[in-house]
Amino acid sequence: MHADPVPKPLLATLKGQRQPIPPIWLMRQAGRYLPEYRALREEKGGFLALALDSHAAAEITLQPIRRFGMDGAILFSDILIVPMALGQDLWFETGEGPRLAPTVQARDVLEALQDAPEALEPVYGTVRRVAALLPPQTSFLGFAGSPWTVATYMIAGQGSREQAEARRLAYRDPALMQALIDRIADCTITYLLGQIAAGVEAVQLFDSWSGSLSPAQFEQWVIAPTARIVAALHAGAPGVPVIGFPKGAGGKLPAYACETGVDAIGVDETVDPVWAHASLPAGMPVQGNLDPLALIAGGATLDNAVDHILAAFAERPHVFNLGHGILPDTPIAHVERLLARVRRTG
């Protein structure tokens, strides 16, 4: 006789089952605000060295689970693993962030890139290690960057606030942009199916720069490729939920929710949760959307913000999360207070 499987509240929520207490995980929960992460980074080297070291990346993924008992573990990696797998060189400049070369601003550059699928293997190794060590009630989330956001880095060679180079290219040479987006989407499908095969139970698509696009471009470069990826994941891994997180989408959120086929939608901190509940499809799981700065503020500011979000999403499946990544100067005590508030233990 087999024992009943241990319930996984986060996974159940992503599949549309509202929980009495919303499950919680935090974007970038495995990272710089944790002293144990900083110690490991000092020992092992820079960010990329950690992300490509399966032992270290697995340890980092597990750190916030051990410390806080989060309902979900998010794979420690980076959205720029996909450009590496497409043949770009990736490195990190101290204090300045990622750099990619050669920049894709002409068709001959894109066509000259040689696929390097071996870049994905360390990530699969991380997934296998974490999957073997997670508590049975903890859901395991994988992720990738969405094609538009990944393309902005591949075109500019680094992060940029307004994504001007990518937006210019999309207007100047839409055929080249489409070819780049298609190539990223193909790799992303392979990558996420590989993560699922290695042991993740749900995946998130981060479109961190979707807010910089006009409505027509949003349809073309965010919704259309996301829909293609989601359809391929649903066909290749039936029953595995896909969370879409189009940061900055604002009023375009309902269209994204309806047209991409995602199973759940992440909402950033600029969105009114009352509006989101009223505007998104009934019953669709929602994730979000505490302002990371409210978490830093703590105290009554934090409590009131948490209560407002919980009330707004009380009638639908809700995964409590931040509206974006946790910031490095976030006090550990404030994270503990947040968990206690959401779980109604403090």
- 171 classed as catalytic: no
Q: How far is CA 177 from the centre of its chain?
A: 23
Catalytic hit among 32, 67, 128, 343: 32
Q: Are 233 and 240 in contact (CB under 8 A)?
A: yes
Does the annotation mark 28 as catalytic?
yes
Which two three-digit tokens encode residue 220? 């073309």
> Strand pairing partners for 194?
none
- Token pair 């080249």 is found at 176
Q: Is 99 a catalytic residue?
A: no
> Looking at residue 165, what DSSP letter applies?
H
Active-site residue, from 53, 71, 78, 268: 78
Residues 270 and 290 sit within 8 Å (Cβ to Cβ): no
CA–CA separation, 175 and 188 (whole Å): 20
Active site residue 67: no
Cα–Cα distance measured from residue 123 to residue 116, given in angstroms and rounded to the nearest whole number = 14
Cα separation, 218 vs 34, whole angstroms: 36
Is the separation of the CB atoms in 62 and 133 below 8 Å?
Answer: yes
At 137, phi and psi to the nearest 5? -90, -5
For residue 209, give the amino acid letter: W
Active site residue 167: no
Helix (H, G, I), strand (E, B) or coil at 47: helix
Which among 37, 124, 153, 256 is annotated as catalytic?
153
Q: Which residues are catalytic?
A: 28, 32, 41, 78, 153
